[in-house]
Structure 1
Amino acid sequence: MKAIERTSSGVWRGNLPHGSGEIKAASGVLRDAPFTFATRFENAKGTNPEELIAAAHAGCFSMALSAYLSEQGHEPEEISTKATVSLENQAITRVHLVTEGRVPGLREQDFQKAVQEADAHCPVSNLLRTGLVISHEAMLR
Structure 2
Amino acid sequence: MKRHATATWSGSGKDGYGHISTQSRTLEQVSFTFNSRFSDVAGTNPEELVAAAHASCFTMKLSFVLNEAGFTAASLESTCYITFENAVITESHLIVKAKVAGISQETFNACIKETELYGPVSRMLNVRILIEASLEK
Q: Out of 42, 53, 56, which is 1:45 matched to? A: 42
- TM (norm. structure 1) is 0.93
Aligned equivalents of 1:24, 1:89: Cα separation in 2: 27
Map of 1:31 onto structure 2: 28
Match of 1:10 in 2: 7
Letter in 1 for 2:68: E
Task: Give the equivalent residue in structure 2 for 1:66.
Answer: 63
Unaligned ranges ≥5, structure 1: none
Aligned residues with identical type, % of pairs: 38
- 2:102 counterpart of 1:124: no
Mapped to 2, the partners of 1:77 and 1:51 lie a distance apart of 27
* Aligned residue identity for 2:64: A
TM-score (norm 2): 0.96
Q: Which runs of 5+ in 2 are unaligned?
A: none
Q: Deviations over 1:34-65 (max 9, x none)?
A: 01100101122221011001000000000111
Q: Which runs of 4+ in 1 moved over 3 A?
A: none
RMSD after superposition = 0.9
Which of 98, 103, 106 is matched with 1:106 structurally? Answer: 103
